[in-house]
Amino acid sequence: MTNTAPMRDELRRKIIADPDVILDDGDVMRALMAANTSGLGENVVDLRGVAFERLEERLGRLEDAHKGVIAAAYENLSGTNMVHRAILKLLEAPDFDGFLEDLPELATILKIDGIRLVLESAEACQAPKLSGVSDIMKVAEPGYCEFYATMGRGGSVRKVTLRQTSASDAVFWESAENWISSEACLLLDFGSSKMPAMLVFGSEDPHQFSPSNGTDLLTFFAEVFERAMARWLA
């Protein structure tokens, strides 16, 4: 050490200002740890200990990232399986009445807390804006589904809309279901000769239908639902 040229001030300042330059360089760290440490004095920092701490931190971050990936993959697989089971249930209906009777079971399969089917009808113009045919099925005037999905704001209309709700927004959820905190609006298109419709899923969990969530599975479910229901509307 006594024979080694003193470290240049500029290099010393850089290392002090950004020690990661040394700690993140594998070759430099290996050279430092391989050096003879005898007689270095009590003020010398054990770089091996620092390196091991840094490696432990990286390993911890890597493990957390892996856990996040595994959890996301499991959640996606679980959601896919639920949608597939719900679709199989749709295809089992022998007639339209059976199709409607199966809707509450779809809610159980999909692990949601409420489900509504809204059908637009020209005859609804002579009736209240939204009338109930049953607890599950509602009839609305033309244009109502798109209006509800966009909250009256217009603009581009998506096949699936996810959002948080409050008690003041609760149009479909009666007093027993006023704890619905998020919903998914699935717009249904049965062709140019038929009026549109909408499926609405409600959840007590405000994050189940968060706008930041993906909509691929629900879009697929809506397209299958359209084809299944079209059989009874023909």
Q: What's residue 163's pLDDT?
A: 92
Structure-token pair, residue 108: 């159980």
Q: What's residue 47's pLDDT?
A: 61
45 contact partners, CB below 8 Å, separation of at least 6: none
Beta bridge partners of 160: 186
What are phi and psi for residue 132, nearest 5 degrees?
-105, 125
User: How many contiguous H segments (helices) and E segments (strands) does the chain have?
Assistant: 8, 6
The CATH number of whichever domain residue 117 belongs to comes to: 3.30.450
Count structural domains, the chain.
1
Range of the domain at 117: 95-233
123: in domain: yes
**Is the Cα dihedral 146, 151, 157, 158 positive or negative?**
negative
Helical segments of the chain, H only: 9-17, 20-23, 26-34, 47-92, 96-101, 103-109, 144-149, 216-233
107: in domain: yes
Helical segments of 93-143, H only: 96-101, 103-109
Q: What's residue 4's pLDDT?
A: 47
Q: What's residue 122's pLDDT?
A: 80
5: in domain: no
Q: What's residue 159's pLDDT?
A: 93
- pLDDT tens-digit series, residues 53-81: 777 777 778 777 777 677 666 566 677 88
217: in domain: yes
Spans of the chain, pLDDT less than 70: 1-7, 32-52, 68, 71-77, 124-134, 154, 167-170, 174-178, 234
